[in-house]
Amino acid sequence: MKLNRLELSHYRNIESLELCPCDGINILYGDNAQGKTNLVEAVWLFTGNPSFRGGKLRELARFGQDEARLKIRFEDREREQEAELWIDGAAGRKKALLNRVECRTAGDLNGAFYAVVFSPAHLSFVKEGPKNRRRFLDIAISQIKLPYRNYLLQYEKLLDQRNALLKNASKYRNLEQNIEVWDLQLAKAGTILSIFRYDYIKKLQTLSARIYEGLSGRKESLGLRYLSTVFEGTEEPTAYDTATVEQYCRKLKESFQSDLYQGFTGIGPHRDDLEVEIDGRSARVYGSQGQQRSSVIALKLAEAHLLKKAVGEDPVMLLDDVMSELDVSRQDYILNHLKGMQVFLTCCDISNTMKLRQGKVFHVEGGRLREETAVDSPSEEEGCPCICT
């Protein structure tokens, strides 16, 4: 996957901008608050996902402007395509066009343009509660298994309905019996999501452990564990069948009284977690800044390799401020593993990345871009074998 051109107007602090990146590494450098993350975020929106920074749509339009317009030309192995996003800041709506045809929703861009993003915001993935880890899984899986997003939407709708019943329990007679109909539907969708997640984590575990081992110079190990509120303590589900759905229903029945008391459903994929461990201990509780950052980077690189395996080509890598807090050997390891991919890498200080001697360098200042002289190409022997063999 290659981004050939990016055009932005009235997007965040960018009044108007055109970027023609190279196929390899594109370095976007500049002082704080100049627009580097804004650029990376703009590219990310074309995956059909919301911003990795969270926030509201209206925040994306430049102050004092009603509408932001974003356009990319990109190519996969087959052809060049064009996508546009029109963000109506005043109304808080966005419209997506793929090859000039309006999409039903911006989410329909999912499956057309592929990218993997790392931003400092992703450190909350290890540092904070499970919400961001579930979000990571949901976005990563929906990029490679297109039906996943629909199952997730279906599950969330059913969950809202069940929670509404629980909250208004006094209005319903025989709720415990009647809720079984909802439970069955919820259990079906929840089982499917759990199977997708177990399967994805298994693959992610193998790859990210190998990457983390390399990043840490074989000194530390990374482990992942899916903590399921439904299937914990039992054999993990690998196939969708009646027995697994029944098992899920039994769990819902067991938690009914506490759900009723709390007014919401306490078990299911919306409450599950992904435990990240370094040397067998929680990265959240015991990890250093560098270890936490390295574990998120390992997961992101592994995500990129899994995406490549699933769709047959490298995703565009968006690495926002990835190098901070990492020692030189960890930085080198990351740079070596980006070989063959189109990368957008932001930093404040170019000296760290100049050793790449490859690609394009852009200086970002006040929402404007200035391309600097291209640096030399690397010699063949500087290449590093891809880990995804």
Q: Does 292 bind ligand ATP (CB under 6 A)?
A: no
| Residue 81 interacting partner from Mg ion, ligand ATP, none (CB closer than 5 to 8 Å by kind) | none
The length of the chain is: 389
Residue 208, token pair as written in the block: 């990210």
Whole-number Å distance between alpha carbons of 349 and 335: 16
Tell how many helices (H) and how many strands (E) occur in the chain: 10, 15
Least distance in angstroms from the C-beta of 380 to ligand ATP? 34
The site map against ligand ATP for 324-363 (x = CB under 6 A) is ------------------------x---------------
Nearer to ligand ATP, 204 or 297 (CB): 297
Q: Does 13 bind ligand ATP (CB under 6 A)?
A: yes
Nearer to Mg ion, 119 or 265 (CB): 119
Give the strands of the sheet with 222-227, arranged side by side.
Answer: 222-227, 273-278, 281-282
Q: Does 38 bind ligand ATP (CB under 6 A)?
A: yes
| CB count in 10 Å sphere of residue 175 | 16
- The DSSP call for residue 374 is P
Whole-number Å distance between alpha carbons of 285 and 332: 27
Q: Select from 2-10, 31-39, 136-144, 154-162 the region that touches Mg ion (CB under 5 A).
A: 31-39
Least distance in angstroms from the C-beta of 344 to ligand ATP? 12
Q: Does 251 bind ligand ATP (CB under 6 A)?
A: no
Secondary structure in 3-state letters for 239-258: CCCHHHHHHHHHHHHHCHHH
Q: Is the dihedral of CA 82, 8, 105, 88 positive or negative?
A: negative
Least distance in angstroms from the C-beta of 127 to ligand ATP? 18
DSSP secondary structure, 334-357, as one string: HHHTTTTS-EEEEES-GGGTGGG-
Q: Does 49 bind ligand ATP (CB under 6 A)?
A: no
Whole-number Å distance between alpha carbons of 16 and 13: 9
Q: Does 59 bind ligand ATP (CB under 6 A)?
A: yes
Q: Locate tokens 């509780």: which residue?
A: 285
Residue in 3, 6, 35, 296 binding ligand ATP, rule: CB under 6 A: 35
Size of the site for ligand ATP (CB under 6 A): 16
* Distance (Å) of CA 1 to CA 232, 376, 378: 38, 23, 22
Least distance in angstroms from the C-beta of 119 to ligand ATP? 9
Q: Does 37 bind Mg ion (CB under 5 A)?
A: yes
Q: Select from 35-43, 79-87, 170-178, 251-259 the region that touches ligand ATP (CB under 6 A).
A: 35-43
Residue 357, token pair as written in the block: 């001697």
Closest by CA to 150, choosing from 85, 104, 181, 118, is 104
Nearer to ligand ATP, 111 or 120 (CB): 120
Nearer to ligand ATP, 59 or 213 (CB): 59
| Residue 174 interacting partner from Mg ion, ligand ATP, none (CB closer than 5 to 8 Å by kind) | none
Q: Does 119 bind Mg ion (CB under 5 A)?
A: no
**What is the binding site for ligand ATP (CB under 6 A)?**
12-13, 30, 32-38, 59, 61-63, 321, 348
Binding residues vs Mg ion (CB under 5 A): 36-37
